Each structure stands twice: as C-alpha cells, then as structure tokens.
Amino acid sequence: MILSPEDQQKLADSVNILSHPGFTRKITKSAAETIEQTTHLLPEKLTKSLTSITHTALEKSLDSALLTLATQKYHNPRKKTHQLLAGISGAAGGAFGLPALAVELPISTTIMLRSIAEIARCLGEDINSPETKLACLEVFALSQGTTSENDGETGYYAIRSLLAKSISDAASRLTAQELGKQSSPALVKFLKTIAARFSIPVSEKVVAQSIPVIGAIGGASINLLFIRYFQEIAEAHFTVRYLEKKYTAEHIENLFEQELNRL
C-alpha cells in the first residue's frame, strides 16, 4: 500500500516530533543540559511527591476536560485559547513557586487534556469512545523526557505497546459516563502508569522554573511552552492513529520505523 504524498508528509512530520525526546528542548538548548542534570539530582522524596501530584492532576482533569467535550459546539482545536489559559495558570502558579504546584498542575493538566481531546476529534477520533479518551491520556506518557534514547521503553511504538493492554482493559470496563469516577481498578492502574511517565516532563518543568536564568522567563512562559509541547505530541500521535486506520496499523508502524531510521 503506497501512501499519498500528503500522507507521507504527515507521517514524516509525526515521526520527527515523536522521535525527539524531552520538554527541555522547547526551552533553550543551552539550558537543556543543566535541567537534565538537575532533574537527575532531585531528592527521591521530591520525585515521589511529583509523581503523586501528577497522578492527582490526571484524576482531577478527567471530569472537566473530557466528559463534557461532546456537548461543545467547537469542532476545530482552539490551541491558542488553551495556550493562553495555560499561560495564565502558569503565571498564577509561578508567583508562589513549588508549593503551588499541587494547585496549578491539575488546572494546567485539565487545560492540556481538553486541548488534546479537541485535536483528537479534529483528526477523526470518536471522542465519545472510552478508548479515545484513554488515548488522550496516553499522550502524557509519550514524552520521552530525559531518559536514554537507547532505552527500549522510550520509543513511540514501544510505549504504545506497553500501554496497549491497560488501555484495552480499562476501556472494556468503562462507559463514557464512568470515565471520570476513577472507580475501576483497571483505570487506576492505567493512570498510575501514565503518571509515572508524565512526572518526568513535570519534573523538568519544575526544575526549569527554579533555575534563575530560566525562571526569569516566568511561570506563564514555561507553561506556554509546556502546552505547546504536548499539543505537538497529540497532533503527531493522532495523525499516526488516523493513518493506521486508513492504511492498517502494521503498515504504518513499518513505515514509521523506516522513516525513523532515515532520520
């Protein structure tokens, strides 16, 4: 099966986005190394705390971000609107530093999840489907963060394969109305897996805001870069899913790997 020139370009663009790890590259190249080194030196207690805060943020975002989306009249993703809202949230959180993260992150995550869902819907996903809603959450796990590129669990398809069973288990036990209740053990397990991976870019965000040369940018700018980063990942992720439905998943995965090797 030969992809159309337009679809070939879509796949190439998606591979380029999904194969470049790390939120820090969205800040400055000169600061990326400092942020990565500092992130590795974070105390274990703080790292566990960030994972817990991240898990709570994902839970709190479910009700308001996804369950009402199908009733909205907007069909095109309002990326700039969500960027503005994330910037405002970041400005408020930045004024109070790390202690405000437990309040600011759920708000920012809700805004990002709503934006991700709108991108998914624009690319042909049925947002009423529990599987699609879980795929929206999956985006938060697709940041490769500061982990080694040689780690077998950091590749795009490796991560999707890792999450596939938990998505299937959770989706089969959920209805759209139940998704935000966090009552299913399968959903709780899925959220824990997502939170563990999402906490990596969150820790990078925290470190970035604590470094004087970066902190001068302000919480608003950091949050703006943060949401843009996940909007790009979401667009690439759901473009790949769109192509898989059009040409078969196996074929697109093979072409994805070929393009990755070419890069």
For residue range 108-127, list pLDDT tens digits in order: 888 889 899 899 989 999 88
* CA distance linking residue 130 with residue 18, whole number of Å: 24
| Confidence tier at 146 by pLDDT (50, 70, 90) | very low
27 within 8 A of 35, measured Cβ to Cβ? yes
- What percentage of the chain exceeds 90 in pLDDT? 28
Cα 157–Cα 223–Cα 129 angle in degrees, nearest 5: 45
253 within 8 A of 31, measured Cβ to Cβ? no
At residue 158, the pLDDT reads: 92
Question: Token pair for residue 127?
Answer: 């947002």
Nearest C-alpha neighbor of 124 from the set 262, 10, 250? 10
* Residue 3: DSSP 8-state: P
Whole-prediction pTM: 0.82
Query: Average pLDDT, whole number, for the chain?
Result: 77
Cα 33–Cα 38–Cα 43 angle in degrees, nearest 5: 160
| Confidence tier at 250 by pLDDT (50, 70, 90) | very high
Average pLDDT over residues 63-79: 61
Read off the pLDDT of residues 161-173 as tens digits, 9 standing for 90 and up. Answer: 999 988 888 888 7
User: Is 7's pLDDT higher than 80?
Assistant: yes
At residue 149, the pLDDT reads: 44
| Confidence tier at 199 by pLDDT (50, 70, 90) | confident
Average pLDDT over residues 193-204: 86
Highest mean pLDDT pick, 141-145, 181-185, 209-213, 221-225: 221-225
User: Is 181's pLDDT higher than 70?
Assistant: no
206 vs 232 pLDDT, higher one: 232
User: Is 234's pLDDT higher than 90?
Assistant: yes
Question: Token pair for residue 247?
Answer: 């040409």
* CA distance linking residue 238 with residue 250, whole number of Å: 16
104 within 8 A of 78, measured Cβ to Cβ? no
Average pLDDT over residues 85-90: 65
| Confidence tier at 50 by pLDDT (50, 70, 90) | confident
What single-letter amino acid sits at 183?
S
Integer angstrom CA distances of residue 20 from 8, 23, 96: 19, 9, 32
